[in-house]
Amino acid sequence: LYTAPDSCEGRCGEPFNEEDECHCHPGCEAEHNCCEDHERHCGPDGFSSSSGSISERELLELSEQLYGLDHNKARPSDIALNPQHLAGPDETGDKQDRSPQPLYKYVNEELFSKPTYASFIKLLDNYQRATGREEEVTAEELREQERFLEEVMKTELMKKLFAFLQGKDRYSSEQEFLQDLNQMWFGLYSRGDGERDSSGFEHVFSGEVKKGKVSGFHNWIRFYLLEKQGVLNYFSHNFDGPWDTYPDVLGLQFSWDGFYKEVGSAFIGCSPEFEFGLYTLCFLARPGRACHLSLGGHRLSVQTYPWTKATYGGGRRFIATAYVMSP
C-alpha cells in the first residue's frame, strides 16, 4: 500500500503493463523484469498475497459501479457550459485568452446545499495558495475536514469503495479507512524548504501557486466559484470528453489572479465524493502510474503520484497529486 512504483507491495499478480518501471506479474522472473522486492512480497512466503492486488478488470468494473452510484452528480439541466475556443497543441502555452465569455453560463447552486457539496466548499478557504508558506490549521478547520469525511462516507459510492478495499484486506474497519483518508489527503508536508505548506487535498481540489504558475487545481466547483467571483479567467479548452451527461471531462487553460495554468484537466459536474473516491482508488491501486478506468462505457485514465519525501503511519505515503488525464 502506498508504495513507490518500483515496488511489488500490493501489486503481486497484477497484469503486465509496459508503462511500469518494474513488474510483479507471474512471468516477470522468466522475463528478468521483476521489481527488486518481488520475491520478498510475491514469493510463496511473501508479504503481499495476490488476493490483495487489484486487477485491471476489477478497476474497470468498480469504476463503472462508482459512476452509477454518483447520485449527487449534476443533471444535464444543472449546468450550462460555454467552452468556446478549442486550443491546438501549439496554443495551450501561449497565455492568450481566446474565449471572451466565462466557461460557466449557469450552475444550479441548489446542488451546493447537498451535504457533501456544502462540507466540501467549506474546506476551500482553509489554505494559503502560495507554496513555501506554512499552513496554520485551526480547530474549526479540523472539524470541517472531519465533517467532510463523515458526509462522503455516508454515501453509497464511498461505502461501495470501502467494501471493495476491505475485501482486498486493505482495511479492517471503516474507522481505519476514515483515519487513513484523513492522513493521505489532509496530512501536511513540505513542497518548499521544510514548511508544512501543502496537502493532497489542497493541491488537487483547491489549487496552489508555485514558481509563478498554478499547480494542481483540478476541481470544477472551485473553478466555478472563483470564476463567479471574477478572480479566474477562462482562456480555452484543449479536450472535451465523449460524455453527453455529467460527469464529463475538460482540459482547460485559465488564469487565476494572473497565474497561468497551461492544461488543467477536471471532471465537470460530478459530486465531491465521486472525485474523492475515484482518486483514492487509483492512489491505492496504481500509485505513480496511470490507472485505467471506465465511466459510462468510455475509457479514461487517472494519474496519481505519492509524495516521496515524507511518510506517515509506518511508511505510508501522502497524495502528491491526482488528476484525470486528457489526451
Q: Which residues are catalytic?
A: 203, 218, 261
Task: Provide DSSP, 203-251.
Answer: IIII-EEETTEEE---BHHHHHHHHHHT-EEEEEEEEE-S-SSSSEEEE
DSSP 248-285: EEEEEEEEETTEEEEEEEEEES--HHHHHHHHHHHHHH
Q: Which three cell numbers stand for residue 270?
A: 460530478
Stretch (H or E) spanning 300:
strand 298-312
Question: What are the φ and ψ backbone dihedral angles of 121, each rounded to 5 degrees?
Answer: -60, -35
Greatest C-alpha distance within the chain: 62
Strands 208-210 vs 213-215: parallel, antiparallel or unpaired = antiparallel
Spell out a b/e string for 297-309, using b for 16 or more CB atoms within 10 Å of the CB, else e.
eeebbbbbbbbee
How many whole angstroms separate alpha carbon 326 and alpha carbon 239? 6
Rounded to an integer, what distance in angstroms lies between the CA atom of residue 256 and that of residue 103? 14
